[in-house]
Amino acid sequence: MSYADYMTIMFAFFVVMYAIAINKEESFQILSDSLEHVFDKSARQHSQQGEGVTGEGLLTDRVTPEQELLYGESIQKQESGPELLDGQSDTSNIKQKHLGKPLDSLLTKLQSALIDEIRDGEASLELNQDWLIIELSSGMLFSSGSSVAHSRAKQVVKIVNDIIAPVDNYVRVRGYTDNETIRNEIFRSNWELSVARATSILVELEALGINPARMAIEGYGQYSPFADNDTQQGRAENRKVVIALSKYGLPEQDPESESEPKQEQQALEPEIELPSDDDTIKIIRLPHGGIRITTRNEQ
């Protein structure tokens, strides 16, 4: 091929390319972006799979279980994230730095312990991301319009206590009622009835030995129904007490802070006998600066 022919062909080629670039600039940009996305994705998959266990994939730092629970399972490491639900930590007073006992293991134990109550429809269990819910029928726990627990209620609460007492998960005792109006010499509204029933169960748990710092009371009255209040069956379903266990637990107390009072007592100055001209009495200076006068015959 002669030099003239070669130059002519090259000139024609670049003219065509220039014409295409002017008329189809948008289309070529879309094609360029698509190819870049495909090749970038392929390169990331290769970096994650090609090097095995010791390879350098995108996830250079493994997300800890606590971070997964707090921030979700993002592929990017997050500096911060939401705390449960918006405002939930403020209302429930739950610290998120300490995770309690896994809720799924507690669920298995409760299912075995409450098998008769679950079969009879007097209790039910529900596990979600943040709470293990133990629903107890109000009819089993209390008489109509009363917050005094039956002996049957105390037996069931004892069963629940045996399982949740050894762990450190936070406990929320929640009371619910139907929409039937109540106004007697004890309760003026369903608000008071729901709180009183939740309090009765919480006091029973406390008497059985659960740390009170783990627990709190919530009363919902008639305003958080589980079923339709227009039917008798729905109203019966709405009358209940719920014992809810959080996935977060009460942090362990520092043993040094517990031993401080004892150390302070040991550090107190001993009693010192002061000199006296009278041999029949004894003057003693007390650790806090006071003086005690006794006879020498006093033991």
Q: What is the pLDDT of residues 8-24, one digit of tens each?
A: 988 888 888 877 776 65
With tokens 């150390």, the residue in question is 263
Q: Could you tell me the residue ranges of all domains in the chain? A: 103-249
pLDDT at site 139: 85
The Cα angle at residue 56 between residues 54 and 59, in degrees rounded to 5 = 105
pLDDT at site 18: 79
Helix (H) or strand (E) holding 113: helix 103-113
pLDDT at site 209: 92
d(CA 13, CA 80) in angstroms, rounded, equals 55
pLDDT at site 102: 92
pLDDT at site 246: 94
Please list the ranges in the chain whose pLDDT falls under 50. Answer: 51-91, 95
In angstroms, how far is CA 99 from the centroid of its own chain? 7
98 burial type by CB count under 10 A (0-12 exposed, 13-18 middle, 19+ buried): middle
pLDDT at site 90: 46
pLDDT at site 186: 86
User: Under CATH, which architecture does the 103-249 domain have?
Assistant: 2-Layer Sandwich (3.30)
pLDDT at site 64: 46
For 92-105, give the DSSP string. Answer: HT--SSSB-S-HHH
Name residues whose C-beta falls within 8 Å of residue 177's C-beta, 6 or more positions apart in sequence: 138, 190, 193, 194, 221, 222, 238, 239
With tokens 């129904």, the residue in question is 225
